[in-house]
Amino acid sequence: MRRLLPICAFIAAPALAQDNAIPPPGASAQGDVSVTIHNNDLALVQDVRQLNIASGRVRQEFPDVSARIQPQTVTMTGDGLEIIEQNFDFDLLSPQALMQKAVGETITLVRTNPATGAEVREQARVLAVNGGVVLQIGNRIEVLRDDGLPVRVIFDQVPENLRARPTLSVTFDSRRGGTRPVNLTYLTNGLAWQADYVALFDQAAGRMDVQGWITLTNNSGTEYRNANTLLVAGNVDANSNQYGYGRPVPPPRPGARRAGTETADRERIGDFYLYPLPERTTIANRQTKQVSFLDVSGAQAQRAYEYRNGWLATFDEPQNVNTVLRFSSSRDQGLGDALPAGTVRVYQRDARGNPQFVGESRIDHTPMGSELGLTTGQAFDVKVQPVVENRQRLTEEQWRLTDRFRITNPDGTRTTGERETLQRTDYWQTQMRYTVNNARPEPVTVSIYQSGLGRWWADSRIIQETLPHERISDDQVVWRVPVPANGTVSLNVTYQTRY
């Protein structure tokens, strides 16, 4: 693939000086910087700079702003200053940019004879830069090739709108001269953060230690030095499960089984929690930085096993169950904090006492007091085999025979009643068997979730079961199946449905 500019570029004359010129390499023009970072690739930058501004109409440059600034969000305040015009120059100085800006202009080519070292200079007019550089040299047209021969280009000057750093230029009407603070505020993309959690789980003790880390990522094109940094947690991403006929149902996200109702001891603004970094930090461009924000020892936790089955899903072979880590974010028995969205990575110690990675799962923003169940993997030696053993069509009379048992009075007695009947004559009775196998040397309890009981039709019924179920929703029920060590248990269920 050809490079756009296979040469070295030199500038014969510097660009014209500007008011408050760009600082030397290694220095920053930023002042007192504060950065507020949201989760969704958005940040608010506030930069207070001490500037010496003359009176009258003045053009002032602000280098070292974000390369991904949203110019329409810029606000600027300063004593005795009124903004007339602002421009954001995001074309950065590079050999490619110089050549593209030189189209139609005359440049100087310097060719070096590799045998003698002698240099030959020619004037060339740049005709086009489209996948390569097309030049007019005298009466001939030449394509600048990447053939390894020593060639360099000399430009007369830097185009006015090319900058070594992203630069915002503002024209002021200044009512007085002198040094004063100027507060520059803008929104930018390219700055983001997320939480990462490391959990060391002790299954025997039913406890875990959790350390939470804030992971900052800067792809804004600019470094923010010694910045006062504030993180905002909000914008919960709601995910709905779309599962289908005859397939196992994936575990739900975000992992919260019950939403909490406790208020965390953190600053809030509106509906968002604020997580300030404890001290100022430098956020370098193209850098990922981690800062600790949570350190909890001995929180209650337990391992659980779950299997989720789609409607009429049947398998010839046993299926692995999900391994789930259950814990709470409550103040009394859990982590005692609101948890920003991120990834929880779980470790356990082996027989030698070394921590080993056993799985991970994501959580969304989770209020304090929530009950969580995070799927971290699949169990090796606990399996469930769901099988549709029998399925037959019912008559409307058979359907209505069980209809009377659907009405339960507050005192527990059952009576017959009328209900609106869907305009449908398909009634089915389905017998299912769920065989649970446990090859572990200790007993386990497997939660079997059956879904699809209310999504496409109404009024499904369970008329027979070997263990009592719990109705989770109109669409889903669960059985808690105890299985002895190295044992097998069968759960048998008979459904009546309209499909």
- Predicted confidence at residue 340, as pLDDT, reads 92
Hey, what amino acid is at 395? T
Residue 246 lies in a domain: no
- Predicted confidence at residue 168, as pLDDT, reads 81
Residue 371 lies in a domain: no
Residue 72 lies in a domain: yes
Beta bridge partners of 481: 446
Within 8 A by CB and 6+ apart from 499, the residues are 426, 428, 456, 457
pLDDT tens for 276-333 read 988 899 999 999 988 889 999 999 999 999 999 999 999 999 999 999 999 999 998 8
Whole-angstrom CA distances from 373 to 141, 306, 315, 326 are 70, 10, 26, 4
Residue 291 lies in a domain: no
Task: Please give the model's pTM, rounded to 2 decimal places.
Answer: 0.69
- Predicted confidence at residue 266, as pLDDT, reads 86
Within 8 A by CB and 6+ apart from 77, the residues are 182, 183
- Predicted confidence at residue 238, as pLDDT, reads 29
Query: How many other C-beta atoms lie within 10 A of the C-beta of residue 93?
Result: 16
Pairing of β 287-309 and β 444-451 = parallel
Domain at 51, CATH number:
2.60.40
181: which 2 tokens?
């603070």
Beta bridge partners of 92: 163
Closest CA to 329 of 407, 255, 383, 279: 255
- Predicted confidence at residue 6, as pLDDT, reads 41
- Predicted confidence at residue 137, as pLDDT, reads 83
Residue 44 lies in a domain: yes
- Predicted confidence at residue 1, as pLDDT, reads 37
Residues of the domain holding 45: 31-92+162-188
By the 8 A CB rule, do 496 and 399 touch? yes
By the 8 A CB rule, do 453 and 460 touch? yes
- Predicted confidence at residue 404, as pLDDT, reads 47
Residue by residue, pLDDT tens for the chain (499 residues) are: 333 344 444 444 443 333 444 555 557 889 999 999 998 889 999 999 999 999 999 988 888 889 888 988 888 889 999 888 877 655 555 677 677 777 777 878 777 777 777 888 888 888 888 777 888 888 888 877 665 556 778 777 777 666 656 678 888 899 999 999 999 999 999 999 989 999 999 999 999 999 999 999 999 989 999 999 999 987 633 233 444 455 555 444 447 778 888 888 888 888 888 989 888 999 999 999 888 899 999 999 999 999 999 999 999 999 999 999 999 999 988 899 999 999 999 999 999 999 999 999 999 889 999 999 999 999 999 999 999 999 999 887 777 766 544 445 556 565 555 444 445 557 889 999 999 999 999 999 999 999 988 755 567 889 999 999 999 888 899 999 999 999 999 999 999 988 7
Residue 369 lies in a domain: no
DSSP 412: S
Residue 134 lies in a domain: no
Residue 484 lies in a domain: no
Pairing of β 342-349 and β 191-202 = parallel
Total domains, the chain: 1
Q: Which strand (E) or helix (H) includes residue 485?
A: none
